[in-house]
Chains A and B, each alone.
Chain A
Amino acid sequence: MSQLSRSDVANLARLARIDMTDAELDHLATEMDVILAAVARVQEVATPEIAPTSHPIPIHNVTRPDVVSASLTPEAALSGAPAQEDNRFRVPQILGEEA
């Protein structure tokens, strides 16, 4: 039985912000079936009384005093930018306005 249809995978790809070709979607839909069948084994032993573990060691929030300390210069922070303008990251339009 197929667990994930091609349109399910297309929806996941949309959520994950990855354009995919039809061939990729078809291929992934087939692979996901096999992989999901294998990983679903976790359900055999995951009974309600077991507490989940998200992290191997206890996690505590780490804070520092609220004082100014050394940080990247604007030039360093922008050094890897695909595009920049006026000392800022230049990005494609994020709203639907006319270009």
Chain B
Amino acid sequence: MITRSAHEMSAAMVKGEVTSEQLTQLHLNRISAVDQQVHAFLHVDTEGALAQARAVDAARSSGEKVGPLAGVPLALKDVMVQKGIPTTAGSKILEGWRPPYDSTVVSKLKTAGVVILGKTNMDEFAMGSSTENSAYGPTHNPWDLTRIPGGSGGGSSASLAAFEAPLAIGTDTGGSIRQPAAVTGTVGVKPTYGGVSRYGLIAFSSSLDQAGPCARTVLDAALLHEVIAGHDAHDATSINAPVPEVVKAARSGDVKGMKIGVVKELNGDGYQAGVRSRFEESLELLAKAGAEIVEVSCPNFEYALAAYYLIAPSECSSNLARFDAMRYGIRVGDEGAASAESVMNLTREVGFGREVKRRIILGTYALSSGYFDAYYGSAQKVRTLIMQDFTKAFASADVLVSPTCPTTAFKIGEKANDPLAMYLNDIATIPVNMAGIGGMSLPCGLAPEDGLPVGFQIMAPAMQDQRMYSVGAALEAALLTQWGSPLLSKIPALAGSK
């Protein structure tokens, strides 16, 4: 049962084959059996999840109309606040904090009857590509426990690949949904910026952050997307327009006559051979399904990484100023006549990890008088150029595609001491965030040289998210025909599995 898709689990509940309480208990058992090895979860809310499940079962048996994902369990990235449930964003500075309110995403999940199992591990404040920057220890990739599960949402992606949850919530600032999906053989979608409310999402880089669905199939991601998306008056950047018809697109998977643009600059040198070959094969499958493959050029993408590592740290240096040891979170050194400022300085020294400090210092520098124009100002201009590249490319293609990441999952510790090497993981995912458009990653096979999953990225213009789902569903169906069973059926069994 736990290896099924969320859609299939829902169908089983409708038919009366299983209750939500039983389904939830099966996932809690799975977490108990394997999470010591995977470490996808920072907190498991056993009682809360079972209570939510019983409530859905009661509603269903009383004949109440429930939504398509009612009773299906989900793993929530720990950057999303949930009332009364420990929320740390992977940081020591928030250790022990229980938020007094629900984020809009959590409210929508609860309304839809989705059962929240617990909070998943992540790079501290979503800064990282490996989940090694969590203050609570790394998460391990279920494909190979010595490797990273991606980041920052490595807990969410690993929970899906380890069958600890069929659905998860991620957030994507530079690739934190898509890169973890790619390296774990799962599906992850960054919706159009403003498509999903950021209210109650602990801010890292406000002009780039976007929450989105993580799942094992394209349809499941679409079903979850529809639950969490939509206008929210609590978020000034929320788009007040109808949610794109993502479920309809995922069900049809029709790409006949669609123009798919291959981004010349996001392939080639620097991309692993097996990543390239799986990507090329996927293009052939899409062509066979009736799409027209064209090549597009986005010459300014080569500056995206540099611009990102100025814009994101600048915004984070401002956003993280709220962690001042006064109203919530830990407080260190509040003794005798210590001043508020000295308590603040000491708390931030103890509470923040290395990568967070590195980015705060970089951002503070980039925003400082005398350097603002050369760094932050220039990065904002590059952002304009990247958006212009996308506009031109979308004039000749309905969607753009690339490998999601240059390589498959690397070893834990391999890049931990080389920030620039770590940042290169996001080279193909960052342009999407800079332009505020939608991006999806879905599995397109295993790299022959290491047997690890490869991700295929689809990018669509703002508020045209349904196009990613059409292409994603078409490719998923073609690959499934070729493989005979889903990619995750090839994952090695974890110790403790039945």
Residues of A within 8 A of B (CB): 4, 9, 12-13, 15-20, 24, 28, 31-32, 34-36, 38-47, 50-57, 59-62, 64, 72, 76-77, 79-83, 89, 91-94, 96, 98-99
Contact B357 A81 (CB under 8 A): no
Q: Closest residue of chain A to B194, judged by CB?
A: A57
Does B392 touch A at the CB level, under 8 Å? Answer: no
Residues of B within 8 A of A35 (CB): 309, 358, 362, 419-420
List 15 additional contacts besides A39-B307, A79-B98, A92-B334; criterion CB under 8 Å.
A35-B420, A39-B362, A42-B378, A44-B303, A51-B381, A52-B380, A52-B381, A54-B380, A55-B237, A56-B435, A77-B100, A81-B328, A82-B329, A91-B326, A94-B341
| Stretch among B15-23, B64-72, B132-140, B343-351 lining the A interface | B343-351
Known A-B contacts A38-B420, A41-B303, A93-B340; A57 and B361 likewise in contact (beta carbons under 8 Å): no
Cβ distance A58 to chain B, nearest Cβ, rounded Å: 10
Contact B303 A9 (CB under 8 A): no
Contact B378 A46 (CB under 8 A): yes
Residues of B within 8 A of A38 (CB): 306, 309, 420
Contact B344 A81 (CB under 8 A): no
| Stretch among B154-162, B383-391, B449-457 lining the A interface | B383-391
Cβ distance A65 to chain B, nearest Cβ, rounded Å: 11
Cβ distance B385 to chain A, nearest Cβ, rounded Å: 6
Pick 21 A–B contacts, CB within 8 A, sort by A. Answer: A12-B368, A16-B360, A17-B345, A19-B345, A38-B420, A39-B379, A42-B310, A42-B379, A42-B381, A45-B303, A46-B377, A46-B381, A51-B381, A57-B462, A59-B237, A60-B236, A64-B233, A82-B329, A82-B334, A92-B343, A93-B340
Does B325 touch A at the CB level, under 8 Å? Answer: yes
Docked pose: A99 CA to B330 CA in angstroms? 22
Q: Is the interface of B mostly helix, strand, loop or mixed?
A: helix
Q: Closest residue of chain A to B331, judged by CB?
A: A82
Cβ distance B416 to chain A, nearest Cβ, rounded Å: 13
Point out the residue from A18, A32, A93, A99 that lies within 8 Å of B349, measured CB to CB.
A18
Does B41 touch A at the CB level, under 8 Å? Answer: no
Contact B194 A32 (CB under 8 A): no
Known A-B contacts A13-B361, A72-B100; A89 and B327 likewise in contact (beta carbons under 8 Å): yes
Residues of A within 8 A of B309 (CB): 35, 38-39
Contact A42 B337 (CB under 8 A): no
What's the A-B contact tally at a CB cutoff of 8 Å?
177
Docked pose: A38 CA to B360 CA in angstroms? 17
Q: Is the interface of A mostly helix, strand, loop or mixed?
A: loop
Q: Closest residue of chain A to B350, judged by CB?
A: A19
Give the residues from 231 to 250 in chain B that come closer than 8 angstroms, CB to CB, to chain A. Answer: 233, 236-237, 239
Contact A52 B384 (CB under 8 A): yes
Question: B308-327, CB under 8 A of A: which get 1 and which 0?
Answer: 01100000010001001111
Residues of B within 8 A of A80 (CB): 97-100, 327-329
Q: Closest residue of chain A to B386, judged by CB?
A: A53
**Residue total for B at the interface (Cβ-Cβ under 8 A):** 71
Contact A16 B340 (CB under 8 A): no
Contact A42 B352 (CB under 8 A): no
Residues of B within 8 A of A99 (CB): 336-337
Residues of B within 8 A of A13 (CB): 361
Cβ distance B350 to chain A, nearest Cβ, rounded Å: 9
Does B73 touch A at the CB level, under 8 Å? Answer: no
Contact A19 B349 (CB under 8 A): yes
Docked pose: A96 CA to B148 CA in angstroms? 49
Residues of A within 8 A of B203 (CB): none
Cβ distance A24 to chain B, nearest Cβ, rounded Å: 8
Contact A56 B381 (CB under 8 A): no
Cβ distance A50 to chain B, nearest Cβ, rounded Å: 4
Contact B365 A42 (CB under 8 A): no
Contact B329 A42 (CB under 8 A): no
Docked pose: A61 CA to B144 CA in angstroms? 48
Residues of B within 8 A of A91 (CB): 326, 340
Cβ distance B263 to chain A, nearest Cβ, rounded Å: 18
Docked pose: A2 CA to B233 CA in angstroms? 47
Docked pose: A42 CA to B310 CA in angstroms? 9
Does B271 touch A at the CB level, under 8 Å? Answer: no
Known A-B contacts A57-B194, A77-B100, A80-B329; A42 and B462 likewise in contact (beta carbons under 8 Å): no
Contact B239 A83 (CB under 8 A): no
Residues of A within 8 A of B366 (CB): 39
Known A-B contacts A28-B358, A43-B378; A12 and B365 likewise in contact (beta carbons under 8 Å): yes
Residues of A within 8 A of B352 (CB): 18
Does B338 touch A at the CB level, under 8 Å? Answer: yes
Cβ distance A69 to chain B, nearest Cβ, rounded Å: 11
Docked pose: A39 CA to B423 CA in angstroms? 11
Residues of B within 8 A of A79 (CB): 98, 100
Contact B361 A12 (CB under 8 A): yes
Contact A32 B420 (CB under 8 A): no
Cβ distance B347 to chain A, nearest Cβ, rounded Å: 9
Residues of A within 8 A of B384 (CB): 50-53
Known A-B contacts A42-B310, A91-B340; A53 and B345 likewise in contact (beta carbons under 8 Å): no
Residues of A within 8 A of B317 (CB): 16
Cβ distance B282 to chain A, nearest Cβ, rounded Å: 28
Cβ distance A75 to chain B, nearest Cβ, rounded Å: 9
Does B297 touch A at the CB level, under 8 Å? Answer: no
Residues of B within 8 A of A62 (CB): 233, 236
